[in-house]
Amino acid sequence: MKSIISASIFICMTASFSQPLIASEYHFGGFLKANARFVDGNIAYQDSWTGGGSIAEPAKRTQFSAAESRFNVGVTHGGVKGFAEIDFSGSAQGNAAFSNSYSPRLRHAYISYEGLTAGQTWSTMVNTSTFAETADLGVPLAGQTMVRQALVRYSTDNWQFALENPYTYGTQAGSTEAVIKWVDTSNDYIPDAVIRYNQQGDWGNVSVSSLFRYLDPEDSAQFGAGVSVAAKLKTFGKDDIRLQLHYGNLGRYVGTDAARDMINGVIEQTTSAMFAYRHFWTERTRSSVFYGHTITKEEQTDRFHAGVNVFTNLTPVLALGFEVGRYQIDDEHNPYTHAPSPQGGSNYAQLSLQFHI
């Protein structure tokens, strides 16, 4: 739910004060979210499963947090729209010993005008309607697109064309486990290009996206491409299925930290999928079961995240959720030593209370 405030902005269209005033409309929104999270296993604790992680000694940990709380403002002025949003997740400032004073991070800041969008927002590869409803902030990141970055995008009724921020995330040839040489990004000068087709109806929606990239131009200079299909399909009553399928040189666009763009100077190939089914028990109570999985060819990562939850609205703006799940790392061989990689998993339970502003 968003609050709307209309305000008169004294903008003079000509030198004459007799011209009509233009009103700007402000939309304030976001939510407050309180989490209680318990993790048990040999993958080190994370506030949400990001597709990365490391194998450690088995441990149990409980953490309470409000850092996922989010605030945004949208402004409409004639045909121009602007949107900005912050939250506090991932802050390095918070000190659990004393103040928990998390610093804000920028999620979105963009301008839209006549089909053109410029600024930072979701990548054109991302179909947000296919995100599963989860207590874990990341949803099944190990199997889906989840990238926000600066871009320029033009949208029509069904098509979207975008140039997005280039960045080569990976390691150079000659890297070893002891000395990892990250790709020098100072010469990433050709934007990533995305073409997307959307179709929707009473049945739901589906999108097909293609990604084209020029990676590591200073050294190996490799072209990469990939394809992504995402859909939200209505089934019975208010139930729905949410799907994502990804293949190709998608790198950092898929699986978050489960895949890189290149390993040891070789462009990475990723296969990834996400599935979620949401069922409504009543008008106010629903459950989702979800599964996300990413595997890569060069780094030989193999990671999945699965879970089930129940949410109920105590009021129209206050939702209580409980979720249990598992995050698993089944990587095959270390790409630098070729020795078998350590494997393991962690189970988690999370209770969330979310107040939509």
pLDDT of residue 97: 84
| Distance (Å, whole) CA 350 – CA 329 | 20
pLDDT of residue 20: 54
Q: Percentage helix, strand, coil, to 5, in the chain?
A: 5, 55, 40
Q: How many CB atoms are located within 10 Å of the residue 57 CB?
A: 6
pLDDT of residue 16: 41
CA distances (Å), origin 224, targets 159, 193, 352: 22, 11, 40
Q: Are 211 and 253 in contact (CB under 8 A)?
A: yes
Question: Which residue matches tokens 């978050």?
Answer: 256
Beta bridge partners of 176: none
pLDDT tens per residue across all 357 residues of the chain: 455 444 443 333 333 444 456 789 999 999 999 999 999 999 999 999 999 999 999 999 999 999 999 999 999 999 999 999 999 998 878 778 888 889 999 999 999 999 999 999 999 999 999 999 999 997 899 999 999 999 999 999 999 999 999 999 999 999 998 899 999 999 999 999 999 999 999 999 999 999 999 999 989 999 999 999 999 999 999 999 999 999 999 999 999 899 999 999 999 999 999 999 999 999 999 999 999 999 999 999 999 999 999 999 999 999 999 999 999 999 999 999 999 999 999 999 999 999 999
pLDDT of residue 100: 87
Question: Which residue matches tokens 């402000």?
Answer: 26
Beta bridge partners of 72: 29, 85
Consecutive H or E run containing 335: none
| Predicted TM-score (pTM) of this structure | 0.91
Q: Give the pair of three-digit tokens for residue 330.
A: 């089944």
pLDDT of residue 21: 62
CA distances (Å), origin 336, targets 177, 250, 268: 6, 21, 14
Task: From 329, 332, 331, select the one nearest 344 (Cα to Cα).
Answer: 329
